[in-house]
Structure 1
């Protein structure tokens, strides 16, 4: 892949790292509101744990934005998020917040996989 393609995926990696930091902070700081909207009250510890994982993923990606390892770690986190959101949707069928959150994470997962594969193709596969 040419240098322009590598730069594109590196820039996308930086964007994902910054997004992870922001999302993680929101999950940590607003865990009670998030669990209430998802219909899983009392599980703030879970959302805060997801937030901490997201902050760690963001820091890892920003430390090596040209390496795919950090982005692949996000993909693993996405799978965990999808599992938890599927449970929330099943517990609260028709909950628009849970459904839209699930749809958002599906989209984020696709983006994460595209960026991770792009970084793999540029030859920067060092694992974080």
Structure 2
């Protein structure tokens, strides 16, 4: 499995998701039954944009993928609060499921990148000369 290519895809995904959260924060907040929290959604969007830019600037860096895992934890916590407030909102549960799946993928990619970086010929020096 090419974890570096997957990390590039995660970077582009973060940019797209961040832009959506930034541009449609109010609409997303209303859909999740937290209309007074559009600023929070936009803040999460800024975090996604930063994460995506970081991943694309250093593809294959396990630490940068790990920041997505940390962001996933924040998202899960916020969505958990939204689910507690509106347990019947299917969009909240769908978002929780989506973020949980993304967290699993992010974790697997970060672990895979760490494991392959430890192999002979795959360290930072090899990456610098392969570019």
TM over 0.5: same fold?
A: yes
- Give the superposition deviation at 1:125: 8.1
**Contact in 2 for aligned 1:13/1:115 (Cα 8 Å):** yes
Q: Deviations over 1:22-69 (max 9, x none)?
A: 000000000011000000011111000000000000000001111111
Structure 2 Cα separation of the partners of residues 76 and 125 of structure 1: 24
Give the structure 2 partner of residue 12 of structure 1: 6
Larger Rg: 2
Q: Given the alignment, which residue of 60, 77, 93 partners 2:87?
A: 93
Matched, 1:103 2:97: yes
Note the residue ranges of structure 1 that are not aligned, 5 or more in a row: none
TM-score (norm 2): 0.88
Higher relative contact order (CA 8 A, sep 6+): 1
Q: Deviations over 1:8-32 (max 9, x none)?
A: 1000000000000000000000001
Give the structure 2 partner of residue 116 of structure 1: 110
Q: Deviations over 1:47-101 (max 9, x none)?
A: 0000000000000000111111110000000000000000000000110000100
For residue 122 of structure 1, give the secondary structure of its aligned residue in structure 2: helix
Q: Given the alignment, which residue of 14, 35, 40 partners 1:41?
A: 35
- Please list every run of at least 4 consecutive aligned residues from structure 1 whose deviation after the TM superposition is greater than 4 angstroms: none
Note the residue ranges of structure 2 that are not aligned, 5 or more in a row: 125-131
TM-score (norm 1): 0.91
How many positions carry a matched residue from both structures? 120
